[in-house]
Amino acid sequence: MSPTPSQRADYTFKYNRSYGRHGWLRLTPAYSVKLVEKLLISGEENLIILDPFSGTATTALVAAENAYQAYSFDINPFLVWLGNIKCKNYSQEQIIKIRHAVNNALVEFQSSLGEEHWIPNIFNIERWWSSQTLTILSALRYSLVQQFGEPKNSADLGIVWIAFCRLIIETSSAAFNHVSMSFNNKVTHFEVDKIEQLFIDILDFILKSTSKPIRGSTKIIKADARCIINLNEVKVDRVITSPPYPNRISYIRELRPYMYWTKFLNEAKEAGEIDWMAIGGTWGIATSRLKSWQIDEVNLLPESVYNAVENIKKSEGKNAHILSIYVLKYFYDMHLHLRSLRHLLKDGAKIDYIVGNSTFFGNRVDTASLLAESMKMLGYKKISFEIIRKRNSKKELYEYCVSATWEEA
């Protein structure tokens, strides 16, 4: 009997928090640098690595730090922006320029505190920040815009806006005691000096972490993983990724405060639109639209997927019907992704997918085995999967690595 797998916190986002650029911004579903490095061990040079579900760009950054060429895709424009900023090299001249401009912004910030400035259109925003804290954050944001421009338009100096994103979450009432965000009972009131010093400390941490040069190259591209785009005749040697799991956890929920403050979101319905485009999304309209969603190619998927969906549908759980559609759409979208991926793979390319299983009303959805069956239908070879860790739950929930190779006929 094989030993019971441990929770392996070092394979989760927790490992990344103090790991240079990887610790800039937290995203709970992110996987760890350590796991990517383990999968990437290879004596080969000049590998081209792809992550079709970029997230916080962990794979792309690890690959580039190890002198490989990397590409990543994401449907979320904020994550594309974040990934490209994380994977840049910054010269000493740029760092000096940033620090000088920030010093100017902090002087202007003090004099503009009595003015009224823009704040994001977040529902019940004072659940996140007190009115006093909001006044200070909005004044600081205004002063930074005067020096650096709006976040979307400041790619070369966007590192400052990463620090601001970290600041807004550290001054918020958001609590990370669950797989996603919840809120503390009380909203903390921050003074001007405290916020200014916290911002300086965060920026120092981020700027110091850029001292390690990026030896390879990487590019994060906005793209739909279900319809993989061409890379100018480039084909890849390795795919290392962790797609969303079929567990109703929405990435957009945790990203919303960053996206509102950087104006990648302006109103709530936009978050739902992005989540609808994402595989496994369940935020806002992404759930309501499932009611009318229908599969386009009925016989596309393995029979085992339809069986799992039918078991959920027949259960007596609340919303069992809508959740059965959710699971069907997840595996349909993942099948489209795996089908679309093939044209980017070199002969002999290896793929590794970190995925998690889930349960719905006592019905276990074995994500690893179901994706493995999709891979088999699509012509992938040497398919295998193994448990890599137990997730933080009393249920039998695990993370797996599903591996396969692509061999041209």
pLDDT tens digit string along 20-40?
888 898 887 677 888 888 898
Position 250 scores a pLDDT of 83
Which tens digits make up the pLDDT trace of 203-249?
999 999 998 889 999 999 999 999 998 888 899 999 999 999 998 88
pLDDT of 176 higher than 70: no
Two tokens, residue 36: 């990517």
**Is the torsion defined by CA of 358, 12, 368, 218 positive or negative?**
positive
Residue 349: which pLDDT band, with cuts at 50, 70 and 90?
very high
Which is nearest to 50 in space by CA: 231, 251, 189, 288?
231
> What DSSP state is assigned to residue 268?
H
Highest-pLDDT range among 40-44, 54-58, 405-409? 54-58
What is the three-class DSSP state of 256?
A: helix
Q: State the pTM of this model.
A: 0.92
Domains along the chain with CATH numbers: 37-76+215-250+267-406 (3.40.50.150), 92-209 (no CATH)
Strand order in the sheet with 217-222: 217-222, 69-74, 48-51, 236-241, 345-356, 398-406, 381-390
Which is nearest to 222 in space by CA: 336, 70, 25, 72?
72
- Residue 302: CB partners within 8 Å, gap ≥ 6? 370, 373, 374, 376, 377
